[in-house]
Amino acid sequence: MKVIRKVDELREYSIEQRSKGKTVGFVPTMGFLHEGHVSLITRASLECDIVITSLFVNPTQFAPHEDFDSYPRDFEHDYNLAKNADCDVLFAPARGEMYPEGATTSLSVGDLAYVFEGKYRPHFFDGVATVVSKLFSAALPNKAFFGQKDYQQTLVVKALSRDMLMGVEIVVCPIVRETSGLAMSSRNKYLTDEEKSKAKILFQSLVATKEFIESSERNRKKINAFMHEYLRKLEILKIDYALAADAYNLSEPSEFEEGMDVVLLLGTILGKTRLIDNMVVKIPVSNYNEDERFQAGLK
């Protein structure tokens, strides 16, 4: 596996590969890789001829009070994991490569950046869009692979590729979880053992809410209340949001329609650690006709 630190070198490498007819898959990360990242690299290597993984802790997606300085970094660990996962190139640029001196240009995502996670981290999605666009310009990928764990981020990068005419196909890969159900994240390193075992409540609340919906609940407020009530069992958990929305555009109708894909989105803080999770649930299609639904109190 090659390590590249310069943008120009990465771009040349990618142009060369593509000129040979090879497809380039790209996995952007902030490093401190775990099994979730490995699953993205593996998927990229199944779908593309060449896999580039980036390691870059992007300063513009952190607010001044957030964990940019303490964000875990371990190049050797990342190198070994990426190499074992059949990555071809590890791109590990210095800050000045990604944000050259005097750089002032940034991208603005629009409304999607200020709801759900964006309401609590208003700087975050513009920072992500800006750095992902720079990384795409450097790696020139055919496809880029993102984890569903950062659900809203996947919507933002899909919109980015579409709106900025980037032509990069965004592939969203399933969440990888610990056996307890806790979604894997580099930030799990901040959790104490006790917090880690308690953090499984996020996944449990999603599973319970999925069952609640599948028992034919379609009222958004009732679904949200159910999730909140479940999570409140863990008193030390601070709930920023626990909300259901249309899985494609995050709109929030009062009643979800039959057959619709709904995403349950969680943003919480446990101790000092921000934990997010989500699950997509299909609203069941009823077998009743309109009259029967009315009689059964479903309408």
Q: Which is nearer to ligand PAF, 135 or 234 (CB)?
A: 135
CB of 61 to ligand PAF, least distance (A): 6
Q: Is 98 in the site for ligand PAF (CB under 6 A)?
A: no
Q: Is 97 in the site for ligand PAF (CB under 6 A)?
A: no
Q: Are 52 and 91 in contact (CB under 8 A)?
A: yes
CB of 103 to ligand PAF, least distance (A): 16
CA 73 to chain centre: 19
CA 20 to chain centre: 32
Q: Which is nearer to ligand PAF, 134 or 218 (CB)?
A: 134
CA 123 to chain centre: 16
Count of residues touching ligand PAF (by CB under 6 A): 10
Q: Is 58 in the site for ligand PAF (CB under 6 A)?
A: yes
Q: Is 152 in the site for ligand PAF (CB under 6 A)?
A: no
Q: Is 206 in the site for ligand PAF (CB under 6 A)?
A: no
Active-site residue, 65 included: no
CA distance linking residue 81 with residue 207, whole number of Å: 31
Tokens for 3, please give them.
């390590």
Report which DSSP code applies to 147.
E
Q: Which amino acid is at 117?
A: E
β-strand partners of 91 = 4, 54
Q: Is 243 in the site for ligand PAF (CB under 6 A)?
A: no
Q: What is the footprint of ligand PAF within residues 108-137 (CB under 6 A)?
A: 128, 131-132
Q: Are 110 and 122 in contact (CB under 8 A)?
A: no
Beta strands across the sheet bearing 89-91 = 2-4, 89-91, 50-55, 24-29, 143-147, 169-173
CB of 154 to ligand PAF, least distance (A): 9
Q: Which is nearer to ligand PAF, 136 or 226 (CB)?
A: 136
- Burial tier of 9 (Cβ tally within 10 Å: 0-12, 13-18, 19+): middle
Report which DSSP code applies to 32.
S
Q: Are 152 and 178 in contact (CB under 8 A)?
A: no
Q: Which of 34, 37, 123, 228 is catalytic?
A: 37
CA distance linking residue 118 with residue 111, whole number of Å: 9
Q: Is 28 in the site for ligand PAF (CB under 6 A)?
A: yes
**Piece in contact with ligand PAF (CB under 6 A), picked from 4-12, 27-35, 91-99, 113-121:** 27-35
**Piece in contact with ligand PAF (CB under 6 A), picked from 25-33, 188-196, 212-220, 255-263:** 25-33
Q: Are 156 and 41 in contact (CB under 8 A)?
A: no
Q: Which is nearer to ligand PAF, 25 or 220 (CB)?
A: 25
Q: Which is nearer to ligand PAF, 33 or 242 (CB)?
A: 33
Q: Which is nearer to ligand PAF, 81 or 281 (CB)?
A: 81
CB of 280 to ligand PAF, least distance (A): 18
Q: Is 53 in the site for ligand PAF (CB under 6 A)?
A: no
CB atoms within 10 A of CB 296: 11
Residues in contact with ligand PAF by CB under 6 A are 28-30, 58, 61, 128, 131-132, 150, 153
Active site residues: 37
